[in-house]
Amino acid sequence: MINNKNVLLDFTTICLSLLNDFKDEINVLYPNYVTKIEKKHIGNKTEYKAYNIILSCTNKDYENDPDALNMSFTIKHITTTPILCELSNIWDGDIDNSLCGAMMLDEDVVWGKEAKDLIVKSFPILKENFLCCLCSWEIMLQANTKYNKPRR
């Protein structure tokens, strides 16, 4: 049996050490966005048993709009053989996902040194892509008729 407390502690420590500083950077660069970090268990009553850490940005000028940009890190099968299964930037809402985003895993990686290193090595790419997505979102806000409504 895997000690899932150690796995979750390692996973959370690595991800939060990267995300907390990035969150602060986003708050300075994009003060009109609400940025938060969420941690949650997924599928606790199934064999999937995953844990997800998400950095999420929403535009506070459009509070009723469902759009969000998320940087997501997920590890699954935390009680058996833990597997890193997601390192990505994804849109949530009705923005076209093809505009921006990044999927860093071609295949799942069993939790261990390789998975930990992959998170750290992938983060600069995810970070750069995330900032490009935010920039694109700002351009869409100015150009897209969907968003042509007065700001608060």
Tell me the pTM.
0.86
Q: Which CATH number fits domain 4-147: 2.40.160, 3.90.1150, 3.50.40, 3.40.5?
A: 3.90.1150
Tokens in use for 8? 């979750």
- Nearest CA to 91 among 144, 125, 134? 134
Tell me: the pLDDT tens digits for 10-21? 999 999 999 999
| pLDDT single digits (tens) 25-84 | 999 999 989 999 999 999 888 878 899 999 999 988 776 677 889 999 999 998 889 999
pLDDT band at 98 (very low <50, low <70, confident <90, very high): low
Q: Which sequence spans correspond to the domains of the chain?
A: 4-147
pLDDT of residue 5 exceeding 90: no
Query: At CA 50, angle to CA 27 and CA 40, rounded to 5?
Result: 40
